[in-house]
Structure 1
Amino acid sequence: MNGATAYLVAAAGLLIAAAGVLVAVVALRTARKRAARPAGTPVRDPFRSVDDDADALRGDPRTLKPGDLVEIRHTSYGVRGTLRFREGAWGWAEHLLDDAHGSKVWLSVEEDPDLELVLWTALPDIDVTPGPAELEVAGRRYRRDESGRATFTSAGSTGLDPTGTVRYHDYVAADGSPLSFEAYGDSERWEVGTGERLHRAEVLIYPQATGADDPTTGRIG
């Protein structure tokens, strides 16, 4: 073996030894990190931080309550009332909003599992009974999505009792636009609404002080 060959062999040996030390250090650091995490600590959803950042900047829609202010597509609304629904282990909320001109809309907030925000407009003159697999409303065709029965609690001015039940049928158009039918208590009258899905960036929340909930209920004229 000449001098050059011996030098290359020695250099290769040093590189292999250095790589072995690096692997050992990485393994040790990983083991320490695992040991530092308490047993049973849930692994954080890597995508959840995106929602957390949006909530920190724009307010958390999940915590909306009567008395809060909401800006949707540059229009400001006050939260008049809130309905919180429960069907088994599943829950969602609907908030009655009105603007400075008295126009009323509903904002639904649901995690399925991603956060879904839908702005609903009532269709009081529509006389359609839900149930068929497909139906047409205001010139648009919808297909049946889901239906069920839930309980609710009411806060603020919603026009409903503090607690009760609701039957619902949800439909969806080819472009994803939702249509909803709701009948509260023993009523045979279906309340119909069409929805617009909102991007998270279109909703800005100004929460008011805790305790701003209006405990009264009553029909909104």
Structure 2
Amino acid sequence: MSTFLIALGVILAIAAVVVLVLAFVRGRKPEKPSARQDPLKSGDMPVFGPKQLGPGAIVSYGGVDYVVRGSVTYHEGPFAWWEHLLEGGQGEPIWFSVEEDEGRLELAFWAKRPDLALQPGGPHTVDGVQYSEVERGTARYTCEGTTGLPVQGEMYYVDYASAGRSALLSFEQWAPNTPWEVSTGKIMSPGELTVYPAPPAGS
């Protein structure tokens, strides 16, 4: 009986060694590279998503590093878009918007224009550029960081664009019967910007 147990023990030990060797060999096999994906496919642009852009992120453009001071998330029905307050360089703080339009990312730098006494409605000409209305609506918003806005609320907007959407004009109203805020925007391409993501929330 003892001889049988010894033989059985030897067989189990050999089997264990074989299993370990096979596992080691399999672990060393190179993984097949995954198929490369379209980097501009909807939802596959990680550097411009809400988890990467937020207070503390850095947006580098034209040799200047801008710090994201605060962020606003907008919701209108099933649609969402973001605006981030950037500060850096010698100029005034600017806003950076991120929006998905028909499967494409639309990125823009915005400058507030308190010098423009305009109201939404009809075409407008600003700095020699003619703009036509393209969209208007009401959106709910929430804020984080420093934005100069309430933590949450509802706003009204009217968006204009030039022919070919090379330039943008926006009207925003943050409460009924308050003055419209006017901004002009410049479309940016992802290749013009480098983003260093924000630290994770709570870190």
Preserved CA contact (<8 Å) 2:71 2:144: yes
Pair 1:51-2:51 in alignment: no
Q: Does 1:136 align with 2:125?
A: yes
Please say if 1:68 is aligned against 2:57. Answer: yes
2:195 alignment partner, one of 205, 211, 214 = 205
- 3-state DSSP class of the match of 1:60? helix
Code of the residue aligned with 1:117 in structure 2: it is L
CA contact (8 A) 1:66 1:212 kept: no
> 1:95-106, aligned counterparts within 5 Å?
95-101=84-90, 103-106=92-95
CA–CA distance in structure 1, aligned partners of residues 92 and 136 of structure 2: 28
The answer to whether the 8 A contact 1:169-1:180 is kept is yes
Question: What is the number of residues matched between the two proteins?
Answer: 163
Counterpart code for 1:127: A
> How many Å apart are 1:175 and its aligned residue?
4.2
Judging changes above 3 Å, is the alpha-carbon distance between structure 1 residues 75 and 187 closer, same or farther for their aligned structure 2 residues? farther
- Match in the other structure for 1:82: 71
CA distance in 2, matches of 1:183, 1:48: 40
1:60 deviates by 1.0
Identity of aligned residues (%): 36
- Deviations along 1:90-124, whole A, 9 cap, x unmatched? 11000010104352111100111211111111111
- Which residue in 2 is equivalent to 1:23? none
Inter-CA distance 62–139: structure 2 relative to 1 (3 Å threshold): same
Structure 1: which amino acid aligns with 2:182? V
3-state SS, counterpart of residue 178 of structure 2: coil
Give the aligned partner of residue 183 of structure 2: 193
Cα separation, 2, equivalents of 1:121 and 1:157: 17
Give SS of 1:49's match: coil
Maintained 8 Å contact 1:142/1:171: yes
**Offset of 1:208 from its aligned partner?**
3.3
Query: Equivalent residue for 1:117?
Result: 107
Relative distance call for 1:212 and 1:100 in structure 2 (3 A) is farther
The residue number in structure 1 matching 2:117 is 127
Greater shift, 93-102 or 197-206, is seen at: 93-102
Amino acid at match of 2:57: D
The 1:83/1:197 distance shift into structure 2, 3 A limit, reads: same
- Return the alpha-carbon distance in structure 2 between the equivalents of residues 184 and 103 of structure 1: 21
Q: Is the 8 A contact 2:72 2:84 kept in 1?
A: yes
The superposition leaves residues 155-189 of structure 1 with CA deviations (integer Å, 9 ceiling, x where unpaired) of 11111110001100011112421111101123521
- 1:162 alignment counterpart: 151
SS of 2:38's partner is: helix
- Which segments of 5 or more consecutive residues in structure 1 lack a partner in the other structure? 1-45, 214-221
Shift of 1:211: 2.4
| Cα drift, residue 131 of structure 1 | 1.8
Q: How many Å apart are 1:140 and its aligned residue?
A: 2.3
Q: Give, as a single letter, the amino acid of the residue that structure 1 aligns with 2:110.
A: W
Q: Does structure 2 retain, via aligned residues, the 8 Å contact 1:71–1:203?
A: yes
Conserved 8 A contact 2:40-2:104: no
The 1-side partners of 2:152 and 2:39 are apart by 35
1:182 aligns to 2:172 (yes or no): yes
In the superposition, the TM-score normalised over structure 1's length comes to 0.68
CA–CA separation in structure 2 for the residues paired with 1:197 and 1:95? 15
